[in-house]
Amino acid sequence: MRMSRLFLRTLRDDPADAEVDSHRLLVRAGYIRRVASGIYSWLPLGYRVLRRVEQIVREEMDAAGAQEVWLPIAQPLELWARSGRDVDYGPLMFRLRDRKDTGYCLSPTAEEVITGIVAGEYSSYRDLPVTLYQINWKYRDELRPRFGLLRGREFLMKDAYSFDADADGLKQSYQQMYDAYRRVFERCGLQFRSVEAQAGEIGGDVNQEFMAVAAVGEDEFVWCPSCEYAANTEAATRRAPPRADAPVDAPPMAAEHTPDLPGIAGVAEHMEVEYGDMLKCIAFAIEGGAVDGGDGADELGLAVVPGDREVNPYALAAAVAPRSARIYDDDDFAAHPEIPKGYIGPHYEGAALVVADPSVGVDRAWVTGANRVDHHVRNAVLGRDFTVDVWADLVVVAPGDPCPRCGSPLAIDRGIEVGHVFQLGTKYSEALDARYTDESGDQHPMLMGCYGIGVSRVVAAVAEEHHDEEGLSWPAALAPYQVHLVALAGKGGSAGDVVAAADRLYAELCDAGVDVIYDDREASPGVKFADADLLGMPVRLTVGARGLARGVVERRVRASGDQDELALGDVVAAVVPSSYELP
């Protein structure tokens, strides 16, 4: 591609609305342009990168035995009502109405549609297993779109769905996708980890996320340097601390006046204790069912953890299952003015259930809320002053906590969720009647898995990892072009020779099947070099009068800055191996 004809305008200044490097550079380099919040146009260079990622995903899906389909983006809400997700997704869905006032949504994902299709075609154990996938635009009206392509409202996603007859089959289908995902992200040049995760709206039991390690990542995950354990902080557990059994001999519990200090920090300072000496009591509603078979109204529960730790709502939910827990928000406290928010202690009389973390031991006296506004107590002792109904590992795992598998201190990182694989089970197959008949004529719901890759997000994640001060620096597999050919012609006596040599080289490279972008513009060397660095092709070749006199061109590797010279006749052979086909 000749740059003189390429639809491209690079920007010298950073765009004002871009915070993170990937966003800033993709806009500056003319790869994408914002059209609305969270919605982007892909310009020629950006679109080539997107297609490269797409092709890698396609190849790996095909190799894993999945079959590509294309599902509609406009989907009837009636179908979503069958799984109940029209409600679950709520305002996250873009909704629209047709002329007959029938409701549709723009697909945020496609479990319902695909399950409906498979249910309509397949009905025998002989048909299974089957895995289908598509690479298609998805729409989510995010609470807060941000970071350019990283959290867009329109994004390209590969979504795959497996259908199996039994749990073993599902496990196998899942494993095949898992392995394919590893290959995809390796080929994309991402530094990533697969981590245990929470399921969210999708549902299901087993699931893992693929995290591209990045400081700007919106997710936090822990990982063990000594074994394979890794988990999203939401889902992470730790080796439970040993329970102390020797009670402390402490003075009686005594209240102190702590006016206007509802927070841990203020109380710790006022009472001159460490955060870790305090007990934090989080009020939550036990929804629907009363603890002791009462009338079904919400009841009050307390989650108790040391003051330097936070309650993991997912762990709390697991601890009270099958009942559900909703941590009190402002509305709840407004509805229960008798509960002294900020001054609750574990000895609160109205609490139907006290759930505590095992690190709350009998071997020490705690500072905690006095259950009276503007008061805290010292010397609250477990067993003497308060009791616990349920013990559960409640805290959000923090760096240095012992690994649940091997006990080594856990490390923590941030990541961009680029993929997520789920074993769904029968949630959708039951809702949408995807059943099969087994060998003995009995009917069963199919076992499903679903598997997503954020294709457009991968582009941003790779840009986030592969760039420097000067600009982007694509791994060869994703670069829009493999070679950036720069002609430094000027207007001196040798200008014609330089142009002729560069033109000839360009033609030779094209003939050899190399994707090459050729800067044949009338611009100064500084402009051309700066643009080459910004655009980030893996290899730059420079043809100038200086080298031409000696029959050489300069080769520079973008990522390393390594530079050497190639004899004119050797250039094509030297760069041919680094060639990738676009679909």
What are the structure tokens assigned to 470, written together? 């000067």
The total number of residues shown for the chain amounts to 583
Minimum gap (Å) between residue 237 Cβ and RNA? 15
Minimum gap (Å) between residue 110 Cβ and RNA? 25
For RNA, the closer of residues 173 and 542 by Cβ is 542
Backbone angles phi, psi at 133, to 5 degrees: -145, 160
Which residues, numbered 303-342, are part of the site for RNA (CB under 7 A)? Answer: 305, 310-313, 327-329, 333, 341-342
Minimum gap (Å) between residue 50 Cβ and RNA? 19
Which H helix or E strand runs over 388? none
Q: How many residues bind RNA (CB under 7 A)?
A: 68
Binding RNA (rule: CB under 7 A), the pick from 146, 182, 187, 384 is 146
- Considering only 62-70, 409-417, 418-426, 542-550, which stretch makes contact with RNA by CB under 7 A? 542-550
For RNA, the closer of residues 268 and 453 by Cβ is 268
Fill in the DSSP letter of residue 409: B
Other Cβ atoms less than 10 A from the Cβ of 98: the count is 10
For RNA, the closer of residues 89 and 181 by Cβ is 89
For RNA, the closer of residues 64 and 261 by Cβ is 261
For RNA, the closer of residues 58 and 457 by Cβ is 457
* Cβ within 8 Å of residue 442, ≥6 positions away: none
- Is 393 in contact with 358 (CB distance < 8 Å)? yes
Distance from C-alpha of 301 to C-alpha of 160, rounded to nearest angstrom: 40
Residue whose token pair is 């109940």: 84
For RNA, the closer of residues 19 and 98 by Cβ is 19
For RNA, the closer of residues 340 and 425 by Cβ is 340
For RNA, the closer of residues 75 and 233 by Cβ is 233
Pairing of strands 516-519, 483-488: parallel
CA-closest candidate to residue 546, choices 487, 483, 503 = 487
What are the structure tokens assigned to 258, written together? 């702590």
What are the structure tokens assigned to 379, written together? 């010397």
Minimum gap (Å) between residue 233 Cβ and RNA? 10
What string marks each residue from 341 to 360 as x (binds RNA by CB under 7 A) or -?
xxxx----------------
Binding RNA (rule: CB under 7 A), the pick from 98, 524, 564, 573 is 524
Minimum gap (Å) between residue 95 Cβ and RNA? 15
Largest CA distance in the chain: 97
Query: What's the one-letter identity of residue 276?
Result: G
Minimum gap (Å) between residue 33 Cβ and RNA? 9
What string marks each residue from 453 to 472 as x (binds RNA by CB under 7 A) or -?
-----------------x--
Fill in the DSSP letter of residue 125: G
Which H helix or E strand runs over 55? helix 44-63
Binding RNA (rule: CB under 7 A), the pick from 195, 214, 281, 431 is 281
Minimum gap (Å) between residue 59 Cβ and RNA? 33
Binding RNA (rule: CB under 7 A), the pick from 556, 566, 571, 575 is 556
Label residue 497 exposed, middle or buried (CB < 10 Å: 0-12, 13-18, 19+). Answer: middle
Which residues, numbered 8-67, are part of the site for RNA (CB under 7 A)? Answer: 9-17, 19, 28, 34, 36-38
Q: Based on the shown chain and the rule CB under 7 A, indicate whether residue 551 belongs to the binding site for RNA.
A: no
CA-closest candidate to residue 461, choices 397, 415, 518 = 415
Distance from C-alpha of 575 to C-alpha of 553, rounded to nearest angstrom: 13
Binding RNA (rule: CB under 7 A), the pick from 69, 77, 264, 362 is 264
Minimum gap (Å) between residue 84 Cβ and RNA? 22
Distance from C-alpha of 114 to C-alpha of 525, rounded to nearest angstrom: 54
For RNA, the closer of residues 71 and 398 by Cβ is 398
Which residues, numbered 234-263, are part of the site for RNA (CB under 7 A)? Answer: 262-263
* Cβ within 8 Å of residue 96, ≥6 positions away: 74, 103, 104, 105, 106
Q: Based on the shown chain and the rule CB under 7 A, indicate whether residue 143 belongs to the binding site for RNA.
A: yes
Pairing of strands 130-139, 154-164: antiparallel
Fill in the DSSP letter of residue 146: B
Minimum gap (Å) between residue 540 Cβ and RNA? 7
Distance from C-alpha of 343 to C-alpha of 352, rounded to nearest angstrom: 18
Residues that bind RNA (CB under 7 A): 9-17, 19, 28, 34, 36-38, 143-147, 262-265, 280-284, 305, 310-313, 327-329, 333, 341-344, 369, 396, 470, 488-492, 524-527, 529-534, 542-547, 554, 556
